[in-house]
């Protein structure tokens, strides 16, 4: 099966500019996650969707970050305006069903990420 797709793979922008990232999860996966991975750190969850609804966005800086998953399939993450500290890799992941135990349903599958550099 096809994996999680993300684009672009790399993006360089200047501070105060806007940027958007796109993610297409594995077909049939209801849950979609966006993570921020700053160099030298583990991924940090920004937002979690179940179908087209937000489950958890407690760690999303809502003054500049926004995300949507309008049709419950692909998703976009936007930063407006960007700051220097937003330089990171943005990872998208998907899983079958939120909150299910056992088997493949518990596993999050990650895309290759988008490396953002803010100058």
Partner 1 sequence: AQSVTQLGSHVSVSEGALVLLRCNYSSSVPPYLFWYVQYPNQGLQLLLKYTSAATLVKGINGFEAEFKKSETSFHLTKPSAHMSDAAEYFCAVSHNNNDMRFGAGTRLTVKP
Which parts of this chain interact with partner 1 (CB under 8 A)?
4, 6, 31, 33, 40-45, 48, 55-56, 91, 93, 95, 98-102, 105-113, 115
Instruction: State in angstroms the smallest separation of the CB of 30 from partner 1.
Output: 12
DSSP character string of the chain: ----EEE-SEEEE-TT--EEEEEE--TT--EEEEEEE-TTS--EEEEEEETTEEEE-TTS-TTTEEEE-TTSS-EEEEESS--GGG-EEEEEEEESSTT--SGGGG--EE---EEEEE-
Instruction: State in angstroms the smallest separation of the CB of 51 from partner 1.
Output: 15
Instruction: State in angstroms the smallest separation of the CB of 81 from partner 1.
Output: 27
Of 6 and 19, which has the nearer Cβ to partner 1?
Answer: 6
């Amino acid at each position: 099966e096809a994996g999680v797709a993300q684009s672009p793979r790399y993006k360089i922008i200047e501070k105060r500019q806007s940027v958007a990232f796109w993610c297409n999860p594995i077909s049939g996966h209801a849950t979609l996650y966006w993570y921020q991975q700053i160099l030298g750190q583990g991924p940090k969850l920004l937002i979690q969707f179940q179908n087209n609804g937000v489950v958890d966005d407690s760690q999303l800086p809502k003054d500049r970050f926004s995300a949507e998953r309008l049709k419950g399939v692909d998703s976009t993450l936007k930063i407006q305006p960007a700051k220097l500290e937003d330089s990171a890799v943005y990872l998208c992941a998907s899983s079958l069903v939120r909150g299910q135990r056992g088997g493949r349903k518990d596993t999050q599958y990650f895309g290759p990420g988008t490396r953002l550099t803010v100058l």
